[in-house]
């Protein structure tokens, strides 16, 4: 397919930018024609008329659906940036006022390390905009070239993609509120009604962008994100003022058809942002407070279901069908509880709910043993010991498979058993000593 598109782009006397955009124009032309023919099958007029307006609306929806994965990635990057923000703020505070080259390099390195740690990316928020740019310019040039194609005077071309002379004539004579899709506010053929329609569309674009930014995006940002030192907030605030200005300057010079694309795109974005704000608000934001009561009910239902799964998992571990030793059972129980806590933490973050105590990791699987939870003082040391226990358990299990007598006259399994007994005796002695110490303290009081 590309082998036929590229030579077509290079043929004729198209302007350089049209030659660059030709592959995009070719694809958009076929998408619009395909949508128009589907609408004709549904009973919409197959000639000039509302069908071509709906084709541009359909093109917008098609592009927006393609952008959904990038939008999801953008949301994940924003949430990751929210988690990373405390550490990012600490780095900025650490190097505040330091402008020497070495300090700036260290600040950048530490910032990138934090971003890698949480999977945060400032560039992810730009991906949807970057993806749309070639579509915007290609649609603009496709509409610009419809009149020459309709008149049969486009040098070297009688069509662009699926838009031949007949389709171009129909599109050119199709109207939106009485105005041809190819007209601009001040271009040839423009009359007062054209200026009014274009002016109203530009006004909608400006107001919808302000509403989307001020009442949706900003309401879904936490207090930490709203800090003026946050580069993401600075970027959002800049966009809030730059995008309306862009519409004010470009709206009057682009075609009515392209304004239909923009109006549809902005409306889609408002609905999409509202859905995200309602379903997955950012923790600590005004939107999260608005949805907190409803989301707490959702979380409790989710927690009840997951705790039933955890109970079944712990029961399976305690049956010990794998033949683990005592330490192996402890490790498996703690791992199951840790996975459960992390799952609940992740779900609360997705629902925008504040952090709470979600339970404990119990060393022996009941309330009598060592209790520790993420965020507590000493958790990192406890987790390190936990991982060491897991590694030791794997090593002992592997060694137990070998039945070779060593220099000490013991097999690997016998040696592991003695080591386990020795460690158990050490734990018992330590426990007894602690008990005696506690009794002595209680007696003195």
pLDDT top residue among 152 and 214: 152
The set of residues, in sequence order, having a beta carbon less than 8 Å from that of 402 and lying 6+ positions away, is: 411, 412, 413
237-288 pLDDT tens trace: 676 678 788 888 999 999 999 999 999 999 999 999 898 888 888 888 888 8
pLDDT top residue among 403 and 183: 183
Taking the C-alpha atoms of residue 219 and residue 281, their distance in angstroms, rounded to an integer, is 9
Phi then psi for residue 355, to 5 deg, are -70, 140
Are the C-beta atoms of 209 and 265 separated by less than 8 Å? Answer: no
pLDDT at 261: 95
Classified as helix, coil or strand, 180 is: strand
Nearest to 238 by CA among 223, 250, 228, 248: 228
Q: What is the mean pLDDT of the chain?
A: 79
pLDDT at 115: 76
Confidence at 385, pLDDT banded by 50, 70, 90 = low
pTM as predicted: 0.68
171-227 pLDDT tens trace: 999 999 999 999 999 988 889 999 999 999 999 999 998 888 878 877 887 776 666
pLDDT top residue among 391 and 180: 180
Domain range summary for the chain, segments of one domain joined by +: 16-280, 287-361+376-403, 406-436
Res. 445: pLDDT tops 90: no
Taking the C-alpha atoms of residue 368 and residue 129, their distance in angstroms, rounded to an integer, is 56
Q: Burial-class residue 286 by CB neighbours within 10 Å (0-12, 13-18, 19+).
A: middle
Are the C-beta atoms of 159 and 145 separated by less than 8 Å? Answer: no
Average pLDDT over residues 333-346: 85
Nearest to 391 by CA among 335, 430, 316, 337: 335
Taking the C-alpha atoms of residue 117 and residue 351, their distance in angstroms, rounded to an integer, is 22
Distance set, CA 181 to CA 33, 52, 167 (Å): 15, 9, 13
Res. 12: pLDDT tops 90: no
Most confident of the following: 267-271, 429-433, 439-443: 267-271
Q: How far is CA 270 from the centre of its chain?
A: 17
pLDDT top residue among 216 and 380: 216
Are the C-beta atoms of 30 and 167 separated by less than 8 Å? Answer: no
């Amino acid at each position: 397919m590309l082998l036929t598109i590229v030579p077509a782009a290079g043929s004729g006397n198209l302007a350089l930018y049209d030659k660059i955009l030709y592959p995009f124009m070719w694809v958009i032309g076929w998408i619009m024609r395909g949508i128009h023919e589907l609408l004709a099958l549904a009973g919409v007029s197959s000639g000039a008329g509302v069908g071509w307006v709906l084709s541009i609306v359909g093109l917008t929806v098609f592009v927006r659906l393609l952008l959904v994965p990038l939008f999801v990635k953008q949301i994940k990057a924003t949430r990751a940036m929210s988690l990373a923000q405390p550490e990012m703020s600490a780095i900025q505070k650490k190097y505040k006022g330091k402008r020497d080259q070495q300090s700036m390099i260290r600040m950048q390195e530490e910032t990138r390390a934090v971003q890698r740690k949480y999977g945060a990316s400032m560039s992810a928020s730009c991906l949807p905009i970057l993806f749309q740019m070639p579509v915007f310019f290609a649609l603009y040039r496709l509409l610009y070239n419809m009149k020459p194609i309709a008149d049969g005077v486009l040098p070297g071309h009688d069509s662009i993609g699926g838009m031949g002379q007949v389709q171009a004539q129909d599109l050119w004579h199709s109207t939106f509120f009485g105005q041809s899709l190819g007209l601009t506010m001040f271009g040839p053929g423009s009359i007062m009604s054209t200026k009014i329609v274009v002016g109203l569309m530009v006004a909608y674009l400006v107001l919808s962008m302000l509403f989307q930014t001020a009442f949706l995006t900003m309401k879904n940002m936490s207090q930490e994100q709203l800090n003026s030192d946050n580069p993401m907030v600075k970027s959002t605030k800049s966009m809030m003022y730059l995008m309306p200005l862009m519409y004010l300057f470009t709206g009057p010079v682009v075609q009515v058809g392209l304004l239909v694309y923009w109006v549809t795109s902005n409306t889609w974005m408002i609905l999409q942002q509202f859905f995200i704000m309602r379903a997955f608000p950012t923790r600590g934001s005004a939107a999260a407070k608005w949805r907190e009561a409803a989301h707490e009910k959702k979380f409790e239902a989710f927690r009840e279901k997951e705790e039933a799964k955890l109970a079944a998992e712990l029961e399976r571990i305690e049956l010990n069908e794998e033949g683990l030793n005592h330490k192996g059972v402890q490790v498996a129980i703690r791992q199951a509880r840790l996975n459960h806590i992390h799952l609940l933490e992740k779900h609360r973050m997705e629902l925008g709910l504040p952090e709470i105590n979600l339970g404990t990791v119990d060393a022996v699987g009941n309330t009598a043993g060592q209790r520790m939870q993420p965020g507590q003082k000493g958790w990192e040391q406890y987790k390190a010991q936990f991982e060491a226990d897991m590694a030791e358990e794997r090593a002992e299990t592997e060694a137990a498979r070998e039945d070779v007598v060593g220099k000490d006259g013991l097999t690997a399994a016998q040696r592991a058993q003695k080591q386990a007994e020795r460690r158990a005796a050490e734990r018992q002695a330590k426990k007894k000593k602690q008990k005696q110490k506690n009794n002595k303290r209680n007696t003195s009081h």
